[in-house]
Amino acid sequence: MKRFACLFMALALLAPAPAVLAEGALETAPPIPLLCESAVLMEPESGQILFEQNAGERRPVASVTKVMAILLALEALEAGRATLGDPVTISKTAAGMGGSQVLLDAGETQPFEILLKSMIVGSANDATVAIGEYLYGSHQLFVDRMNERAQELGMADTYFVNSTGLPAEGHYTTARDVARMTVEMLKHPLYFDYSTIWLDSVIHESGRETQLTNTNRLIRLYDGCDGGKTGSTSEAGYCLSATAERGGMRLIAVVLGAQSSTARFDTAASMFDYGFANYRLYPVARSGAKIRGEMPVEGGNLPSIALMLQGDLTLLMKKGGEQAVELLPNLPPSVQAPLSMGDLVGSVDVALDGRVIASIDVVAAQSVGRQDFADGLRRVFGRWLFQ
């Protein structure tokens, strides 16, 4: 059994794999000062929270609301319900939204892509409402779908009154729920085509030009930051959901209710710094990885078969924490023929600090039939011949 344990530890170093979801924050309290009302630092592949502050407190989040609007737009494109080239005619409602906007004219037509870019880069309220009306027929139906999607994502402490985040009674979410919808948004590679644009412009049908400047200054100031959504109102304070990637690990920092724009960006940067300095993803198992050595077969037309893992596992841990991981194989001394490739043979338990946190199946990597008379003769003859 010790031989198998060593083997599994070797396999753990082969390649990264999807992470396992863990419950609760890894840190019992924020390890750094957080200059905001609510915050979450999350690793999105697993959904694991590294640390949080008042993460379940319901709050207005201003234009961070648009994370959900952007997500629905990206999902519509992926589902074929819209294309980037679709012409979208701007309604009076959309053109009159106020707040942050790209000054769209009622009646003008813009490609879906321009409106999407305006949402992501410039946090444009008019573009957001225009996309919602195009996809769902009205702004209210768009908002209804935003709330439905929030429930599907398990965002139990979220309710949207509008798609823009403009102040409205009963419009709220939490830092934890913002992180959840940000995770979902980041699953769409198209998002990153626009999220790192710093400066751009929108050309209107009249020939007029509106400048776009990215509201997330961390994409210029923080190494590895490649996306995020800002928001600010007097009710919400200064808010941000940002993402950064370093060394193959991505993090999401949510900051809500900061007192200034500088405070929200500085807080998010400090959260990223702590996460990247202290944590990393440890690949434990990769599905299909073969085990060195073979399992003896009783009554088979082969004397032994190869085994492989069935399941992926990566753990988010503090650096150096891999020494607390144990891999405990549960394998029989032999297996009985017949077996098909993929048949369950045993398992390996993954223990952290002595507590089993996961189990990975071990399966046959090849098929083996029952031994017949001819197989028996060949095996006996072979042993006799080479004695």
Q: Cα-flanking dihedrals φ and ψ of residue 117, to 5°?
A: -60, -40
Q: Choosing from 38, 66, 117, 163, which is the catalytic residue?
A: 66
Q: Rounded distance, CA 58 to CA 46, Å?
A: 24
Tell me if 2 is assigned to a ligand binding site.
Answer: no
User: Maximum distance among all alpha carbons in the chain?
Assistant: 93
Q: Beta partners for 202?
A: 210
Respond yes or no: is residue 123 known to be catalytic.
yes
Distance (Å, rounded) from C-alpha 383 to C-alpha 387? 6
The answer to whether 46 is a known catalytic residue is no
Choose the catalytic residue: 38, 100, 118, 123. Answer: 123
Q: Which residues on adjacent β-strands are paired with residue 49?
A: 25, 42
Active site residue 347: no
Q: DSSP label at 338? A: P
Residue 43 half-sphere exposure, CB side, CA atoms within 13 Å? Answer: 29
Question: What are the Cα distances from residue 34, in Å, to 190, 229, 263, 349?
Answer: 31, 19, 9, 38
Pairing of strands 48-53, 87-89: unpaired
> Which stretches of the chain are DSSP H helices?
2-11, 66-78, 92-95, 112-122, 125-136, 139-152, 175-185, 191-195, 218-221, 261-278, 373-385
Beta-bridge partner residues of 52: 40
| 3-class DSSP assignment, residue 270 | helix
Which residue ranges are tagged as binding site for substrate? 229
Q: Which residues are annotated as a binding site?
A: 229
Give the active site residues.
Answer: 63, 66, 123
